Amino acid sequence: MKMFHSNSTFTYVFMVFFACATGIADENKKAPWFKKALVGLEVGPTGTERGPETGKKYAANFNGRDIVQKTIEANADYLVIWARDGWFAYYDSKILPKPEGMGKRDILKETMEEAKKHNLPVIAYCVVQYGSRATRENPDYRMVDSEGNPFERNCFNSGYPEYVEKVIAEILKYNVDGLHLDMLDQGFGPPYGCWCKYCKKLFQEKYGQEMPKGITWDKDWDRMLEFRYDTSARLEKRLTAFIRKTAPGVTVDYNYHGNPPFSWRVGQRPVQHSHHGDFITGETGIWGFSALGVGLNARFYAAATPGLPVQVVMQRGVRMYHDQTTRPLIDMRWELLTLLAHSSFVTIVDKTAYDGWLDPVAYDRFGKAFTDAKARQEHFGQPVVEDVGIYFSHRTRDWYGRNEQGKYFRSFQGAHLTMVYEHIPWGVVLDESISLKSLKRFPVIVLPNANILNKNEVELFEKYVEGGGRLILTGFTGLFDQMGNALDSSMIENLVGAKFVRRMESLDNHVRLGKGNATLPTLSTDIRKNWPFLVKGPAVVWKPTTGKPVGELLQPDRSNLQKEGRVGFDWPLSAADPVGPAAILNQRGKGSVLTLAASPDYATTSEHRIVEARLLLRNAIESFRPTPLVSIDAPKNVEAVITHDKETKTIRVHLLGYLAPPTTTPPKNRPFTLPALIEDAPIFRAKIDVQPEIVEVKVLNETTKLKRTKQRLTVQVEDIHEVVVIQYR
């Protein structure tokens, strides 16, 4: 639930939410609750997220019976109820006080009694990090910064885990179906790392040396990062084992922060911290992740936990949690249905009014959104088609990104944006769990500035290509060592089929296609030939050996003012002379590698994001992609998710229209506006070309117009979501 911190430009309040449970263990030993769950609610009070709220009004009407009844009316499959936050227990605890306004009531008891009548699974929400009262009462639990100053965040190597277990043991006595353990981070803001006596001792034991004195970005800091990662993982393992032992059958899940935009600071890796519960739970929402982040989060979570269900959490508020606002129905439906289309199950977080009042408008909308989603339930949950793997290198995140992880995320996110805009089905490949098998799932893999690769990764990529895989490399991929230092030579010259000459110092680099175009004619589709265009981002000069050059990379002009140091390089200047090829196509074994000297991925999310830069990446991918199951032509504001049920020979094309109207000038940080809320259903057309022979096609919405001409389908949709269900022979 909560938290945190800020730098000078923004303050994020992070919250947390919830979790899960298993239903009715003794009555029927069927599948655990989450296997059948599609949608749920998490309900918690508002008031303590910024401190220990006092007085008789706070949470006075926070009432388990009402919450369960409203949850049932809203057609939710389960309820996550707050049992413990940073300051209070909402049940009779011997460890923590209840808010004064609750009097003698016990919310967990009220909730369980009412839920039993309705067979509603109940998951108890329990804070882990930011257990502020525990920290104040037990100063030994505090983290300590590198200067030796304690601060109010819980150290997982102190006696705090034992305290958490005691709280969990109390909650488990209520026969809840599951526990959602929230915030297993080690800080979203400074200070980073803990130098308390427990950590110092453990570190010494493990590494035979003292901790580094601070953030040193050297071998010692590498150990420190490892130490932090292991600390988080150890706590998750410990709490899971405790719950399994104390109450077998009760589910456990952790709020996950291994995905972008989170970095090493949080203390989580994409894979290492993803699978200690019964399923992964992650947040989403435009407030912290962008509109594109909704689908990206869902797929990232799935990539981190192959085979496990994915729970994604969204919020009711127009800005974030606890803000006492309610989004329009269609805005909520867009996010909910996007997540469901990506085969997640979804929890909406409701933070009640200060006194615990439940906003009737919010519950009306939850009910409508859930009822609508459940009417489409049979069309969710099938395997998502992923033609192209986007490679995510957490080592690059940590050691190239260092204190500016955006330097790396921009490339990963630019590759993702390209897939969505161009309606190319994509998935995520994680460096932590790389194997030949994980690579072979994808006919094409893109490495968007995966700058730090190790020997094992390079060897696997070579095998992948030799066996017929197709690889696209951009920018500085493979040009940094494990500690994030620039290399003098490249580890991937054999893949590229070229000799590494140098990294460009400039970011305002240009590409011109035309020269050598016959080698890969489709690279210039929709881009004017012999025209230099800006591809802002890292670029490399290569000298082809076995590879064939395509197009030219051009260095930027430099004005005299720039040369004299009176003007910086932030703003792009025009193209000057060619310095190397724009791309190199290298055949190797049965596969091939296309190396883009510039970074169209980075360019696409930069402030100078011309469309042609994105088209360059699209063309590279389309040049390599085998004939797809279905090809989709739809506007850029429409996300397509394709699922394929091979058993029933059914392809489903989910079309999700995003429609945020224009916004006005913000009062600060111009021009960085918040996107507007969706109030109107978009109307859009999509063309779908189907490869296998179509037997039957249907759509779900009455308002959708569907036309079929042989293997081509044309739909006009008047909603934020439609599913084109294609039966083939």
Return residues touching Zn ion (CB under 5 A). Answer: 155, 157, 194, 196, 199
Report the alpha-carbon distance of residue 357 to residue 350 in Å, rounded.
11
Q: What's the min distance (Å) between Cβ of 502 and Zn ion?
A: 44
Cβ of residue 203: shortest distance to Zn ion, in angstroms? 9
| Of 232 and 259, CB closest to Zn ion | 232
Length of the chain: 729
Shortest distance (Å) from residue 400 CB to Zn ion = 27
Minimum distance of Zn ion from residue 75's CB (angstroms)? 45
Do 166 and 120 meet the contact criterion of CB atoms below 8 Å apart? no
Q: What is the DSSP string of 569-614?
A: SSS---EEEEEEEEEEEEEETTEEEEEESS-HHHHHTSTT--HHHH
CB nearer to Zn ion: give 196 or 373. Answer: 196
Minimum CB distance to Zn ion smaller for 173 or for 197: 197
Sequence-distant (≥ 6) Cβ neighbours of residue 178 within 8 angstroms: 19, 20, 21, 22, 33, 34, 121, 122, 123, 124, 250, 251, 252, 253, 278
Is the separation of the CB atoms in 357 and 395 below 8 Å? no
The span from the first CA to the last CA of the chain, in angstroms, equals: 50
- What minimum distance in Å lies between the beta carbon of 216 and Zn ion? 18
Q: Which is nearer to Zn ion, 22 or 132 (CB)?
A: 132
Q: CB–CB of 68/373 below 8 Å?
A: no
In terms of C-beta density within 10 A (0-12 exposed, 13-18 middle, 19 or more buried), how is residue 169 classed?
Answer: middle
Q: In the bound complex, what is the minimum distance in angstroms from residue 126's beta carbon to Zn ion?
A: 21
Q: Which of 645, 86, 668 has its CA nearest to residue 343?
A: 645
In the bound complex, what is the minimum distance in angstroms from residue 197's beta carbon to Zn ion?
8
Phi/psi class of residue 51: alpha, beta or left (left: φ > 0; alpha: ψ in -120 to 50)?
left
Alpha helices in 173-290 (DSSP H): 197-207, 219-246, 286-289
**225 or 390: CB nearest Zn ion:** 225
- By C-beta, is 148 or 208 nearer to Zn ion? 148
- Using DSSP's 3-state secondary structure scheme, residue 367 falls into helix
Runs of H (alpha helix) within 377-533: 394-395, 406-421, 436-440, 455-466, 493-496
Rounded Cα distance, 143 and 450, in Å: 33
Q: Pick between residue 194 and residue 507 the one whose CB is nearest to Zn ion.
A: 194
Min separation Cβ 85 and Zn ion, Å: 22
Nearest to 585, CA basis, from 595, 577, 575: 595
> Amino acid letter at 82?
W
Nearer to Zn ion, 140 or 680 (CB): 140
CA–CA distance, 294 with 342 (Å, rounded to integer): 10
Minimum distance of Zn ion from residue 202's CB (angstroms):
8
Closest CB to Zn ion among 12 and 207?
207
Of 296, 286, 335, which is closest to residue 413 (Cα–Cα)? 296
Minimal distance, residue 235 CB to Zn ion, in Å: 12
Q: Which is nearer to Zn ion, 186 or 240 (CB)?
A: 186
> How far is it, in rounded angstroms, from Cα 340 to Cα 337?
5
In the block, tokens 């006194």 appear at 355
- CA 265 to CA 175: how far, in whole Å? 36
Whichever of 203 and 408 has its CB closer to Zn ion, that residue is 203
Considering beta carbons, is residue 155 or 498 the nearer one to Zn ion? 155
Q: Which is nearer to Zn ion, 155 or 553 (CB)?
A: 155
Say if residues 46 and 62 touch (Cβ distance below 8 Å): no
Residue 88 in tokens: 């209070």
Instruction: Tell me the DSSP string of 504-522.
Output: -S-S--EEE--TTGGGSGG
- Beta carbon of residue 219, minimum distance to Zn ion (angstroms, whole number): 21
What is the three-class DSSP state of 531?
A: coil
CB of 236 to Zn ion, least distance (A): 17
State the nearest-atom distance from the C-beta of 186 to Zn ion, in Å. 9
677 Rama sector, left if φ>0, alpha if ψ -120 to 50, beta otherwise: beta
